[in-house]
Amino acid sequence: MRKTMSYLYKLAFTDLCTGLSNRNAYEEKMQRLRKGQEKFKDLQIVFIDVDNMKFINDTYGHYAGDEVIKMVGKCIRKAFDKKDFCARYGGDEFICMVNGGVRDKIAEFYRLLRQEKYSISYPLDVSLGTTEYQIINDKGIDDMVKRCNENMRKEKKEKGAKQSDKII
């Protein structure tokens, strides 16, 4: 029975495509943060969005799109620690919550992503936004997530990358 419950929990909170936490796990994490069960004042957030995902799906097929999602997930799993919370937020978006030291992890993520690009014949790039707790502006974790998402969207817009159709 215990093994079955563990398996069902894993199914409910793991993204099957990437092996990362899924949106259910993200919502559960957010509830703990909102209730003060976990502290967020030292938290740094990273929002990652695959650029031109609709173009990849439409031009190379959904199999290629799935491969891109898997590659990005693999790079996230390798670059971030197990103690960091990383999830597939939805569609081609990912979120990572880290207690300090995020710059080195982002650099490693980009290094790994550059390596992965060599194994595919279609364009692969991401837009990334980061933020940390701002005592003056942030009333809670939701303010941080919103600002991080806005930072990522700003980078995407500056690069001229097209917004993907979201599955949320």
- Residue owning tokens 């937020």: 89
Q: Is residue 58 annotated as a catalytic residue, yes or no?
A: no
Q: Assign 160 to helix, strand or coil.
A: coil
Burial zone of 10 (CB within 10 Å; 0-12 exposed, 13-18 middle, 19+ buried): exposed
The DSSP string of 94-131 is EEEEEES-HHHHHHHHHHHHHHHHTT-SS---EEEEEE
Catalytic residue among 92, 104, 125, 165: 92
Q: Is the dihedral of CA 89, 78, 13, 72 positive or negative?
A: positive
Residue 14: partners with Cβ closer than 8 Å, 6 or more residues away: 20, 21, 22, 25
Q: Among all residues, which ones are annotated catalytic?
A: 92
